[in-house]
Structure 1
């Protein structure tokens, strides 16, 4: 197979950016030039390398296989160029990606400790969204990334092989409203909020008894907390101050929806009307 380094860089950039148009912009090429390089790669590989879709492009299994080799080849060419020019780094480079607020909240302390414990490492950072950083990991443009997701934590994409992920921190986000904001919200026509079961109690304390609090995502009584992203029963939500509860998938996806609805009604106190 006879391929050029330019073609391999095009492959890598399409994988990272998720589209031919974005790859062309990042490389400084025209889109037609990127398309020609992509077509040439597919002819040499003898198989489709790209899945062209209305929302962009993604690599096929054959494309992912070639990408793994492309990263090695391009890294070797970069190392050879540094050796020839005498600019080989004296430290080991690590390329770290992080979601937008990680750079100001999570990374400074970690990088400070790393600089003290491993001074031979040079860390360069880049910010991006979790999907963009995931593509960059796949493309080999970064070595590791700090990503964000809501529980239950799932793989950041459905590509194969799976990326190795570890949960480093679970942070609960709570909406806070200053008391003077109540009247301003009412004047603006805002009379309530939507909140997860865990947020109901503090929001009720902040907003007072007149505010409407709608709580989606409650689970069936007796269900495992792992079965839902925001665990909490209807009774717990109402007890904490929810005005309304929304029970959707827990009923519609149950083997016996009518029985599931009866469980919800039975969970609520006799004096409470489920809404």
Structure 2
């Protein structure tokens, strides 16, 4: 095995594939063709003398050898990124932490935590990005981010089956709510009965892995009518305000609802809870990550002082 000719491009491609879970998604994220990604992976696997990716139905994941290479590659890529930051005048690596967050955390919790850090810890440099739970878990495993805010619903299983298990902490647990047009007949009361949701038109996110029809009330005993599909929460809420349909909403997003939207609890059927988890790899975190985690926990406690609608 000979790594002397392995390029930084190949290392970045390996990291992107391990994060995205497929060659196609990695190519899209990097702006490469799929064949270019395949060539880079083939070159680094030749240098390693073994397969670094396990090809599975529906995607790929790192092999044990791939995890070793990715751990070392992350160190190299982080040092290159730190050098670029220092040359551009940004804070050094010692004061930098990388955060990934699901969209429901980006409306209030993440901005509030970052605003507090600017006042109390202005030397801490946070680099953040939005993503789905599955992609953020892969990014944690690949070493591309230090902390992740993940969404979890019943039965609250671990976010992946990899070993070692991720270190998880529940920051918030809120009931799933329903967003309705203010003029909708079901918006007249203080809650909606689950039986009244049959026959409604829904605004849902595109299917993604286990998060099928995100935006439709779980467990409906009918095939739901999807009137509109939108990934962005704010877009879905504005479609609700325009009278285009109903959508589900985590309780933490209730304050983000625009005028013309009522956010109500749903009664009847199983209780639908949603958790926001703070996740990291199990080894002790670096000191900047500890400081950011404390700010996120404080922001979550502040959010919990606001009652659900």
TM-score, normalised by the number of residues in structure 1: 0.62
User: How has the CA–CA distance of structure 1 residues 203 and 69 changed in structure 2, closer, same or farther, with 3 Å as cutoff?
Assistant: closer
Structure label with greater radius of gyration: 1
Q: Aligned residue for 2:105?
A: 102
Relative to 1, partners in 2 of residues 1:187 and 1:103: Cα closer, same or farther, differing over 3 Å? closer
Check the 8 A contact 2:91/2:125 in 1, yes or no: no
Distance in 1, matches of 2:109 and 2:96, equals 20
Q: Which residue of 146, 150, 161 maps to 2:149?
A: 146
Match of 1:31 in 2: 34
- 2:43 matched to which residue of 1? 40
Secondary structure at the aligned position of 1:123 is classed as: strand
Query: Could you say if the C-alpha distance between residues 175 and 194 of structure 1 is closer, same or farther in structure 2, counting changes exceeding 3 Å?
Result: farther
Matched residue SS, 1:172: strand
Which residue of 156, 159, 173 corresponds with 1:156? 159
Hey, what does 2:82 align to over in structure 1?
Answer: 79
Of 144, 160, 178, 2:187 maps to 178
Count matched residues.
199
**Higher-strand-fraction structure:** 2
What SS class does the counterpart of residue 159 from structure 1 fall into? coil
Query: Could you say which residue in structure 1 is the equivalent of 2:137?
Result: 134
Which 5+ residue runs of structure 1 have no aligned equivalent? 196-201, 205-212, 218-228, 231-275
SS at 1:90's partner residue? coil
Partner of 1:117: 120
Q: In structure 2, what is the Cα distance between the partners aligned to 1:172 and 1:132?
A: 24
Higher RCO (C-alpha 8 Å, min separation 6): 2
Deviations for 1:195-245, whole angstroms, at most 9, x for unmatched residues? 8xxxxxx756xxxxxxxx5x369xxxxxxxxxxx99xxxxxxxxxxxxxxx
SS in 2 for 1:51: strand
Deviation at 1:68, TM superposition (A): 0.6
Q: CA deviation at 1:169?
A: 1.6
Q: 2:17 matched to 1:8?
A: no
Contact conserved, 1:79 with 1:88, CA < 8 A, in 2? no
Contact 2:85 2:91 in 1 (8 A): no
CA distance in 2 between counterparts of 1:90 and 1:216 reads: 48
Extract unaligned runs of 5+ from structure 2.
Answer: 180-185, 201-217, 221-264, 275-309
Larger helix proportion of the pair:
1
Alpha carbons 2:10, 2:40 under 8 Å: kept: yes
Q: 1:135 to 1:203 in 2, by over 3 A?
A: closer
- CA distance 1:167–1:115, shift in 2 (3 Å): same
Aligned partners of 2:187, 2:121: CA distance in 1, in Å? 44
1:90 and 2:99 correspond: no
Over the aligned positions, Cα root-mean-square deviation in angstroms equals 3.3
